[in-house]
Protein backbone atom coordinates (compact mmCIF):
# COMPACT_ATOMS: atom_id res chain seq x y z
CA UNK A 1 0.00 0.00 0.00
CA UNK A 2 2.88 2.36 0.71
CA UNK A 3 4.27 1.76 -2.77
CA UNK A 4 0.87 2.37 -4.34
CA UNK A 5 0.41 5.60 -2.40
CA UNK A 6 3.83 6.90 -3.36
CA UNK A 7 3.21 5.98 -7.00
CA UNK A 8 -0.11 7.85 -6.88
CA UNK A 9 1.60 10.96 -5.50
CA UNK A 10 4.27 10.84 -8.21
CA UNK A 11 1.61 10.42 -10.91
CA UNK A 12 -0.27 13.38 -9.45
CA UNK A 13 2.82 15.56 -9.63
CA UNK A 14 3.46 14.50 -13.21
CA UNK A 15 -0.18 15.24 -14.05
CA UNK A 16 0.18 18.76 -12.67
CA UNK A 17 3.20 19.27 -14.95
CA UNK A 18 0.96 18.40 -17.92
CA UNK A 19 -0.81 21.71 -17.47
CA UNK A 20 2.21 23.40 -19.05
CA UNK A 21 1.87 21.57 -22.37
CA UNK A 22 0.82 23.72 -25.35
CA UNK A 23 -2.33 21.63 -25.84
CA UNK A 24 -3.50 22.28 -22.28
CA UNK A 25 -2.71 25.98 -22.50
CA UNK A 26 -4.49 26.51 -25.81
CA UNK A 27 -7.41 24.24 -24.94
CA UNK A 28 -8.14 26.01 -21.67
CA UNK A 29 -7.92 22.81 -19.66
CA UNK A 30 -4.98 23.76 -17.46
CA UNK A 31 -7.16 24.23 -14.35
CA UNK A 32 -8.94 20.84 -14.61
CA UNK A 33 -5.59 19.13 -15.16
CA UNK A 34 -4.17 20.85 -12.08
CA UNK A 35 -7.19 19.87 -9.98
CA UNK A 36 -6.96 16.28 -11.17
CA UNK A 37 -3.28 16.16 -10.23
CA UNK A 38 -4.01 17.63 -6.80
CA UNK A 39 -6.75 15.04 -6.29
CA UNK A 40 -4.35 12.27 -7.21
CA UNK A 41 -1.82 13.57 -4.69
CA UNK A 42 -4.45 13.72 -1.95
CA UNK A 43 -5.62 10.20 -2.80
CA UNK A 44 -2.02 8.97 -2.56
CA UNK A 45 -1.71 10.57 0.86
CA UNK A 46 -4.94 8.84 1.92
CA UNK A 47 -3.57 5.48 0.81
CA UNK A 48 -0.35 6.07 2.76
CA UNK A 49 -2.39 6.99 5.84
CA UNK A 50 -4.44 3.83 5.48
CA UNK A 51 -1.27 1.77 5.07
CA UNK A 52 0.04 3.20 8.31
CA UNK A 53 -3.20 2.30 10.07
CA UNK A 54 -3.11 -1.22 8.66
CA UNK A 55 0.46 -1.63 9.90
CA UNK A 56 -0.72 -0.67 13.39
CA UNK A 57 -3.60 -3.18 13.21
CA UNK A 58 -6.46 -0.70 12.93
CA UNK A 59 -9.73 -2.37 11.97
CA UNK A 60 -11.01 0.93 10.52
CA UNK A 61 -7.91 1.20 8.32
CA UNK A 62 -8.40 -2.37 7.11
CA UNK A 63 -11.99 -1.61 6.13
CA UNK A 64 -10.94 1.71 4.60
CA UNK A 65 -8.23 0.03 2.53
CA UNK A 66 -10.73 -2.54 1.31
CA UNK A 67 -13.21 0.20 0.38
CA UNK A 68 -10.55 2.23 -1.46
CA UNK A 69 -9.41 -0.78 -3.48
CA UNK A 70 -12.96 -1.83 -4.41
CA UNK A 71 -13.79 1.78 -5.30
CA UNK A 72 -10.72 1.91 -7.55
CA UNK A 73 -11.91 -1.26 -9.29
CA UNK A 74 -15.38 0.26 -9.74
CA UNK A 75 -13.85 3.38 -11.30
CA UNK A 76 -11.78 1.25 -13.67
CA UNK A 77 -14.91 -0.60 -14.80
CA UNK A 78 -16.79 2.70 -15.14
CA UNK A 79 -13.95 4.09 -17.26
CA UNK A 80 -14.11 1.00 -19.47
CA UNK A 81 -17.84 1.51 -19.99
CA UNK A 82 -17.68 5.27 -20.56
CA UNK A 83 -14.61 5.24 -22.84
CA UNK A 84 -16.05 2.34 -24.86
CA UNK A 85 -12.61 1.68 -26.32
CA UNK A 86 -12.36 -1.97 -25.27
CA UNK A 87 -9.14 -1.38 -23.31
CA UNK A 88 -9.33 -3.80 -20.40
CA UNK A 89 -5.80 -3.09 -19.11
CA UNK A 90 -6.92 -0.77 -16.30
CA UNK A 91 -9.59 -3.23 -15.13
CA UNK A 92 -7.15 -6.13 -15.17
CA UNK A 93 -4.37 -4.26 -13.35
CA UNK A 94 -6.78 -2.85 -10.75
CA UNK A 95 -8.29 -6.32 -10.25
CA UNK A 96 -4.85 -7.77 -9.60
CA UNK A 97 -4.00 -4.93 -7.20
CA UNK A 98 -7.32 -5.31 -5.38
CA UNK A 99 -6.84 -9.04 -4.91
CA UNK A 100 -3.19 -8.54 -3.85
CA UNK A 101 -4.21 -6.06 -1.13
CA UNK A 102 -7.63 -7.24 0.03
CA UNK A 103 -7.11 -11.00 0.27
CA UNK A 104 -4.12 -10.81 2.66
CA UNK A 105 -6.06 -8.36 4.86
CA UNK A 106 -9.02 -10.69 5.34
CA UNK A 107 -7.61 -14.23 4.99
CA UNK A 108 -5.07 -16.29 6.90
CA UNK A 109 -2.34 -14.53 8.87
CA UNK A 110 -3.75 -11.10 8.07
CA UNK A 111 -7.10 -12.00 9.62
CA UNK A 112 -5.41 -13.38 12.71
CA UNK A 113 -3.24 -10.24 12.99
CA UNK A 114 -6.32 -8.04 13.23
CA UNK A 115 -8.13 -10.39 15.60
CA UNK A 116 -5.38 -10.08 18.22
CA UNK A 117 -5.59 -6.27 18.24
Phi and psi (nearest 5°) for 76?
Answer: -65, -40
Distance from C-alpha of 42 to C-alpha of 67, rounded to nearest angstrom: 16
Q: Whole-model pTM? A: 0.78
Mean pLDDT computed over 77-90: 85
CB 80 within 8 A of CB 90: yes
pLDDT single digits (tens) 24-57:
888 888 898 899 999 999 999 999 999 999 999 9
CB 66 within 8 A of CB 105: yes
pLDDT single digits (tens) 58-80:
999 999 999 999 998 998 898 88
pLDDT at 95: 92
Phi and psi (nearest 5°) for 77?
Answer: -65, -40
Amino acid sequence: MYIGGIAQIILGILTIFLRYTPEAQSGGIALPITLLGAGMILFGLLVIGLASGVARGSEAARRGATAVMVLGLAFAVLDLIIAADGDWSAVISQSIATVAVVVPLWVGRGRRYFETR
